[in-house]
Structure 1
Amino acid sequence: MKLFPSLAFGVALFASGVSPVLAQATPKHTFEIGEKDLLLDGKRMQIRCGELHFARVPKEYWRHRLQLCKAMGLNTVCAYLFWNVHEFEKGKYNWEGQADAAEFCKLAQEEGMWVILRPGPYACAEWDGGGLPWWLLKKPDIALRSQDPDFMAASQAWLKEVGRVLGPMQVTKGGPILMAQVENEYGFYGKDTEYMGKMRQAMIDGGFDIPLFACNPTGNLANGRRDDLFNVVNFGSDPATGFKKLREIQPKGPLMCGEFYPGWFDTWGAPHHLGKTDQYLKDLEYMLNEGASFSIYMAHGGTSFGMWAGADRPFKPDTSSYDYDAPISEAGWIGEKFERTRHLMAKYLLPGETLVDPPVPMPTMAVPSFTLKETAAVFQNLPAAIKDSAPKNMEAYDQGHGCTVYRITLPAGPAASLQIGQVHDFGWVFLDGKEVGVTDRRSRRFKVSLPERKQPQQLDILVEAMGHVNFGVEIHDRKGIQGKVELVAGGKSTEVTGEWSVFPLKLDEAMLSSLKWKSGGESAPGPKFWRGTFKLAKAADTFLDLRTWGKGVVWVNGHCLARHWNIGPTQTAYLPGAWLKEGENEVVVLDLLGPEKPVLAGLEKPILDQLRPELDFARKGSKKGELVLKGQKPGFEAAFPAGAEVQDVKFAKPLEGSQFALEMLNAHDGKPFAAIAELDLLDPEGKSISHASWTVAYADSEEMTGEDGSASNAINGQTADFWHTEWKDAQPGYPHYLVIDLGGATKIGGFRYTPRAGNNPGRIKDYRVYVGGGFVKESR
């Protein structure tokens, strides 16, 4: 008996001419969602899936990584499609080379693996913009992931194109694709069931006749839920609670975890993440024993090559390494986590399944140190200028990645502050070619002091875009200068007006080929491109050692390899041997800060865990100055119930202020620790307030040695990570404090508190809330 008959569509759907090509195909298999089990050709199937993003793995290594997944005991791989990879320019689709999704599915089938397809339109995945194309943001008022007509039209066209390319790969056509996902974790973002219905229909119209499903985190399963979509739940631990919540919204049907996290991703300036292997295996065995299906996110993380790494919210840019502490490492290595997972999977194989041996590891090598001797100064290699009366965001200038230089002549005048509305993401300010300051979106520092100008001077603002935010409403993340540019002197503010020259530096192949190189390191001061070569007798995988470099992007043999930033935790860039060659190999490095030494080498092992906060050019920590709450009256006080449930708190009447302070008085277990997986503020109508303008103004304690317990984890939208007070080197007691600066006066109707998952310390009991301003006195 089929529990979801509307999900197992028949081939007759295509008789109306929706897809003549598919209509002629003969179904080879059936895949259905039964009352208790997933059914492949009528027989029980427990999906043991692993997430593997083909865009994060060199195409030459796809088969190798699939073989590793098979050897680990998986029978299925999850394939995300990142829309912006396949349609970087509107209307121009790319399914070739590294973007050849059909070839990836074909290889999976050849290796005896099934495929779960996740085509979006939104993906998240710590990918630039969550996979949404940058050009959607050219429309100033577009509402992404909504029924906005422009977003819907573009999404429907995309899903139709996906159906054209991958429709023939469905299980009903003899291919490996068993199921397809509609949207992704929409319940965290919104509640519009009609929107989800239209996305479902777009999949059907695109030719999909396999079961369609929706996934959501444990606390968001009911939002946007539809009966005509199979629902699965995402979690990083505590599967019993996750499945209990799933049963509340879907009483019957097989249980499935859509994303199960063995580790976590890294962001620049924060500690490298390592998963807790024993707990991961315990939770995995629980699901295997319960007969539940699952997808390990990630089985193999790989690398966000080029400029594809996204940014966590409010703004925490992700590293290019997406190692994820997955069972299969970034470079395809296996170790204890892989072997223990494989041993566990062997106990739960289905009839007819066998474990295969892992393939031979890819060879690695060291590359001796070499010097990059040619340079091309950025300011001597600007493209043709775009003239404008005021600076606009990058997308308005038809730019999706890279840097932009904004230039204008300032008149003579006294010392002043240059105040910019916002700069996304980092801005270096120059007067007549001399650097005078830096803006930093992480701390919302958009002001730079300018010296007295005795004559007119050229103002240059070089803006670097890091990944578009990939989660939450903050995906409406336009890059470059936002708002007015003003001079503030003597208490008077004057907008900088006149003719601006705007130079888009797209950092693409066309720009790199146009660079004018100079030998011997002789060129103008300021940021530069550097070029050098190294020779190989034989190519193999290596890791470029970037510890002497500052911040920027690196290319090897024309492949845009990675972003680099000396603050860590990543200090190397994975360089696949498949992208190298015998003989001479070329390296180009853009360094916006300037290297300590312009040298590179190839290491045999990566450096993923070396933080160097002393090199951070502009960052302010979470704990800033002195907390000033004495004499303040709390706007609300109460106690959280015990347990891991998401808890919504509604105030008797809305509170208004520019800062939200949470004073935590004790914990349910009586221990000194406090932890918050997520803190969300709600407007008077109960809707989530955007985090785009938020910063952590103060945290009394953060664990940054034993794990990443940084306070920013409490407001990044990710419930699998968390803020945690110190526990390794010190254990300060209650009360604990967290203060969020909201970026402006905000009406708050309540808040949502998500405790740390599982039976872990840090569950807050009694608390007080303060809403107002001036709660933190900055130290001078």
Structure 2
Amino acid sequence: MPEFRIGDNDFLLDGQPFRILSGALHYFRVHPDYWADRIHKARLMGLNTIETYVAWNEHSPKRGTFDTSGGLDLGRFLDLVAAEGMYAIVRPGPFICAEWDNGGFPGWLFSDPAVGVRRDEPLYMAAVAEYFEELLPIVASRQIDRGGPVILMQIENEYGAYGDDKSYLRKLVELTRAGGITVPFTTIDQPTDQMLADGSLPELHKTGSFGSRAAERLATLRSHQKTGPLMCAEFWDGWFDHWGAHHHVTDAQDSARELDALLAAGASVNIYMFHGGTNFGFTNGANDKGVFQPTVTSYDYDAPLTESGEPGEKFWAFREVISRYAPVPDEVPEASAAGAELEVVLDERVSLWDAAGRLGETVAVDALPTMDERGQFRGFALYTTEIDAVADASGHVDRVLTVGEVRDRAQVFVDRAPVGVLQRDHHDVSLSLPASSDAASLAILVEDQGRVNYGHRIGEHKGLIGGVSISGEEIAGWSALELDFDAVVSGATGLYEPLEVGQAVTGPSFVRGSFTAPAGRDLFLSTDGWGKGQAFVNGFNLGRYWSRGPATTLYVPGALVREGRNELVLFELHGAARNIALFVAGSSLGHTDY
């Protein structure tokens, strides 16, 4: 069988020097029908290796489960890498960051406040052991010395930016070896003295993460990694976006020059990202360094291969650079057809209130729980209660609703009429309620906008933290409902009411309509004119949209589009002037500062 190891100066494949030319491609961000296409295009750019994280929370949404079906079939993904004649690097975390919900940690991991993540703490390490017990056999059987593509395994992820628990790192090594992993282990950190010292062990091969100043950063890396090949295991060729900001791009020629400098220095590389993909559903992460910044649905990343799998300017620029150092195939990718341009009349509507009975089981609670305390780790929750009449029937008595902390966004309604929105990124905690001489119903729709994926706020609970009070008096006696969209967005009968063409849409409500499009052809849903919500095609949750931008389209993989009738459903939180949705020819990811 082939052998891969780390030599004094080079990576060695069957004893011969081997330069890793890798690209990051996360299987969980790409529709599985397109895995082979994206892998093939990586080879056409000149790459010889595919790198992927493993998202623990996707595989294990509940403790004791490990889902490898459909888009989570890591084994099939690695087999496709092998079928393309390429190698693979696997980065299982347990923490991955990746601008992914909770940095890849399952929400249930934080149900016990005694759990201490990313350190040698018994409760956490027991959970990690359960995770590795399920994951590692999938990888072990596909290592290069067993005829598979896997040549490297990473231990943790940029740990030096978080902690320095050497016992924790050693136990991860022990667990990984005990799970049958025999290929070499690496660590990755930004090339600073502190991070490289804290984030690794002497026996692990250190790599760097950076996107510029290659000579300087490689010199720092070499000062901590005295022998063996130099590698930038995350060559940052773009960046991610968050709601309300610009779309990040970097100049293709500048990026190509940085890549050239890196390869000219003899280093190996993993391009982060080669193909970013999409944060479908509720999978996006967030950052919070004083201001909460949730990541958008598109993870295009301004990568060489666009969100929809098209070669962009960087693809050709990087391909030309790589050709100076390694053979590049003569074959080039074929351009795909533009997205079909369609108008869809969303001619049926049901309000959130009328749909509530289909969205799940309402539970009576006294004190208001966090979403996590009810075992909910993503999405929306609806809390309702009754509030007393204002004593002064003239309506001049002030009522102020106050929340300890909102995580992350709360829409407030009195008798189903919208009163206002409390937003975490604005640090909102209170708003005035209308005066009334009658008792009224109070409803609060809370959205988890994505869990923090980097830093010490990972694992924080979601919902209305610290309870709700009105004019200083805490409110008790609530009904709580976790919104399960399946029964409303897929085949719901006898629920929706008709809407005439051109009517306004009031939210929060579900609107749906049907359309016919070429089967298997990618589509781009324009969200211009809509407020905020979730979009579903044929029951598949495409992700979040928001008029804040920057993106004004959602990517619809052609694999979701079927022959004949297709269904589009929007869960619109606020409203739109007309019940018309458009599919457009291509993506619009927003304005840039470039």
TM class, shorter-length: over 0.9
User: Once the 2 structures are TM-superposed, how far is the Cα of residue 354 of structure 1 from its aligned partner?
Assistant: 4.5
Report the residue type matching 1:198 in the other structure. K
Give the counterpart of 1:279 among 241, 254, 262: 254
Distance (whole Å) between structure 1 residues aligned to residue 369 and residue 283 of structure 2:
23
The equivalent of 1:227 in structure 2 is 202
Give the counterpart of 2:215 among 240, 247, 255: 240
Give the counterpart of 2:530 among 543, 549, 554: 549
The equivalent of 1:332 in structure 2 is 309
Distance (whole Å) between structure 1 residues aligned to residue 557 and residue 423 of structure 2:
33
Distance (whole Å) between structure 2 residues aligned to residue 539 and residue 49 of structure 1:
29
Q: 1:48 to 1:587 in 2, by over 3 A?
A: same
Is 2:278 the partner of 1:303? yes
User: Once the 2 structures are TM-superposed, how far is the Cα of residue 525 of structure 1 from its aligned partner?
Assistant: 5.9
TM-score, normalised with respect to structure 2: 0.94
Give the counterpart of 2:571 among 580, 584, 590: 590
Report the residue type matching 1:468 in the other structure. R
The equivalent of 1:80 in structure 2 is 53
What are the equivalent positions in structure 2 for 1:599-638 lying under 5 Å apart?
599-610=580-591
Distance (whole Å) between structure 2 residues aligned to residue 506 and residue 358 of structure 1:
44
Q: Deviations over 1:293-344 (max 9, x none)?
A: 1111001111111111111224211111111111111111113321111111
The equivalent of 2:21 in structure 1 is 48
User: Once the 2 structures are TM-superposed, how far is the Cα of residue 706 of structure 1 from its aligned partner?
Assistant: 3.0
Which gives a bigger RCO, structure 1 or 2 (Cα 8 Å, sep 6+)?
2
Distance (whole Å) between structure 2 residues aligned to residue 369 and residue 249 of structure 1:
58
Is 2:459 the partner of 1:485? no
Partner SS state of residue 544, structure 1: strand
Report the residue type matching 1:128 in the other structure. D
Partner SS state of residue 461, structure 2: coil
User: Once the 2 structures are TM-superposed, how far is the Cα of residue 536 of structure 1 from its aligned partner?
Assistant: 2.6
Distance (whole Å) between structure 1 residues aligned to residue 337 and residue 173 of structure 2:
44
Distance (whole Å) between structure 2 residues aligned to residue 217 and residue 386 of structure 1:
47
Report the residue type matching 1:476 in the other structure. G
Give the RMSD, CA atoms, in angstroms: 1.9
Distance (whole Å) between structure 1 residues aligned to residue 127 and residue 387 of structure 2:
42
Distance (whole Å) between structure 1 residues aligned to residue 421 and residue 336 of structure 2:
42
The equivalent of 1:494 in structure 2 is 473
Distance (whole Å) between structure 1 residues aligned to residue 241 and residue 35 of structure 2:
23
User: Once the 2 structures are TM-superposed, how far is the Cα of residue 516 of structure 1 from its aligned partner?
Assistant: 5.4
Give the counterpart of 1:464 among 434, 447, 465: 447
Distance (whole Å) between structure 2 residues aligned to residue 400 and residue 43 of structure 1:
48
Q: 1:487 to 1:368 in 2, by over 3 A?
A: same
User: Once the 2 structures are TM-superposed, how far is the Cα of residue 218 of structure 1 from its aligned partner?
Assistant: 2.1
User: Once the 2 structures are TM-superposed, how far is the Cα of residue 90 of structure 1 from its aligned partner?
Assistant: 1.6
Q: 1:577 to 1:512 in 2, by over 3 A?
A: closer
Unaligned runs of 5+ in 1: 1-27, 611-704, 708-780
Distance (whole Å) between structure 2 residues aligned to residue 121 and residue 513 of structure 1:
37
Q: Tell me, yes or no, if the aligned pair for 1:433 and 1:526 is still in contact at 8 Å.
A: no
What are the equivalent positions in structure 2 for 1:63-462 lying under 5 Å apart?
63-219=36-192, 220-314=195-289, 315-349=292-326, 353-382=327-356, 383-413=360-390, 414-462=397-445
User: Once the 2 structures are TM-superposed, how far is the Cα of residue 450 of structure 1 from its aligned partner?
Assistant: 1.3
Q: Tell me, yes or no, if the aligned pair for 1:231 and 1:250 is still in contact at 8 Å.
A: yes
Q: Tell me, yes or no, if the aligned pair for 1:439 and 1:447 is still in contact at 8 Å.
A: yes
Q: 1:141 to 1:405 in 2, by over 3 A?
A: farther
TM-score, normalised with respect to structure 1: 0.72
Distance (whole Å) between structure 1 residues aligned to residue 544 and residue 407 of structure 2:
16
Distance (whole Å) between structure 2 residues aligned to residue 246 and residue 524 of structure 1:
56
User: Once the 2 structures are TM-superposed, how far is the Cα of residue 69 of structure 1 from its aligned partner?
Assistant: 0.5
Q: Tell me, yes or no, if the aligned pair for 1:51 and 1:295 is still in contact at 8 Å.
A: yes
Larger C-alpha radius of gyration, 1 or 2?
1
Q: Tell me, yes or no, if the aligned pair for 1:548 and 1:599 is still in contact at 8 Å.
A: no
What are the equivalent positions in structure 2 for 1:683-698 lying under 5 Å apart?
none
Q: Deviations over 1:326-376 (max 9, x none)?
A: 111111111332111111111101xxx452412323333323212101112
User: Once the 2 structures are TM-superposed, how far is the Cα of residue 511 of structure 1 from its aligned partner?
Assistant: 7.6
Distance (whole Å) between structure 1 residues aligned to residue 496 and residue 309 of structure 2:
38
Q: 1:606 to 1:354 in 2, by over 3 A?
A: closer
Is 2:33 the partner of 1:60? yes
Distance (whole Å) between structure 1 residues aligned to residue 435 and residue 179 of structure 2:
62
Distance (whole Å) between structure 2 residues aligned to residue 323 and residue 65 of structure 1:
13
Is 2:593 the partner of 1:706? yes
Distance (whole Å) between structure 1 residues aligned to residue 15 and residue 487 of structure 2:
51
Q: Deviations over 1:417-460 (max 9, x none)?
A: 21101111110011111111110000211211112232221111
Q: Deviations over 1:149-206 (max 9, x none)?
A: 2221111111121112221001111100000111111111111111111111111121
Q: 1:411 to 1:140 in 2, by over 3 A?
A: farther
Unaligned runs of 5+ in 2: 391-396
Q: Tell me, yes or no, if the aligned pair for 2:489 and 2:569 is still in contact at 8 Å.
A: no
User: Once the 2 structures are TM-superposed, how far is the Cα of residue 546 of structure 1 from its aligned partner?
Assistant: 1.2
User: Once the 2 structures are TM-superposed, how far is the Cα of residue 246 of structure 1 from its aligned partner?
Assistant: 1.3
Residue-pair matches, total:
578
Distance (whole Å) between structure 1 residues aligned to residue 494 and residue 470 of structure 2:
35
Q: Tell me, yes or no, if the aligned pair for 2:158 and 2:199 is still in contact at 8 Å.
A: no
